[in-house]
Copies of this chain bind each other. A is one copy, B any other.
Amino acid sequence: MRTLGATLEGVSSGAVEIALAPGPAVSQQHGFVHAGAVSAIADSAAGYAALTLMPPGAGVLTAEFKINLLAPAAGRRILARGRVVKAGRTLTLAQADVFAETVSDGEVRERLVAVLTATLMAVQGRDGIGD
């Protein structure tokens, strides 16, 4: 996340928000944030949301995710809001909605640019996998 310049904006039980300020390192040649960076913050938001509901000491692994990319991610900030849909003993389903935030005439607007669903697995005591 540090490589991308992403920041943790909010954490509550089962929900996490991550923001990314677009810059040259995460943008493709036309000024949009690269799909890889959008996916990375969406996956992280989903994974950390799952982690908030796991027992202390547990780590979280992404088993799979799907992302649907709906519109170019362009704006002053990209926001990924992750939330747990169903927390299970072994597997947790989390979803992240990604918004592009723009400012026009002093008004802040958000546009949905991507939706991710992820299967997360809680792991205990495997070396190198804790959060």
Chain A residue total in the interface (Cβ 8 A):
43
CB-based contact B39/A119 at 8 Å: no
A40 within 8 A of B: yes
CB-based contact B93/A68 at 8 Å: yes
| Binding stretch for chain B, among A50-58, A82-90, A101-109 | A82-90
Contacting B at CB under 8 A, from A77-131, are 85-86, 88, 90-91, 93, 95, 112, 115, 117, 119, 121, 127-129
Report how far A39 CA is from B37 CA in the complex, Å: 9
Report how far A50 CA is from B103 CA in the complex, Å: 30
CB-based contact B67/A64 at 8 Å: yes
23 A-B residue pairs with Cβ-Cβ distance under 8 Å, sorted by A, are A3-B25, A4-B36, A30-B129, A35-B40, A36-B37, A36-B39, A36-B44, A63-B63, A63-B69, A63-B91, A63-B119, A64-B67, A64-B119, A65-B67, A66-B66, A66-B67, A68-B117, A70-B86, A70-B93, A72-B128, A91-B121, A93-B115, A95-B115
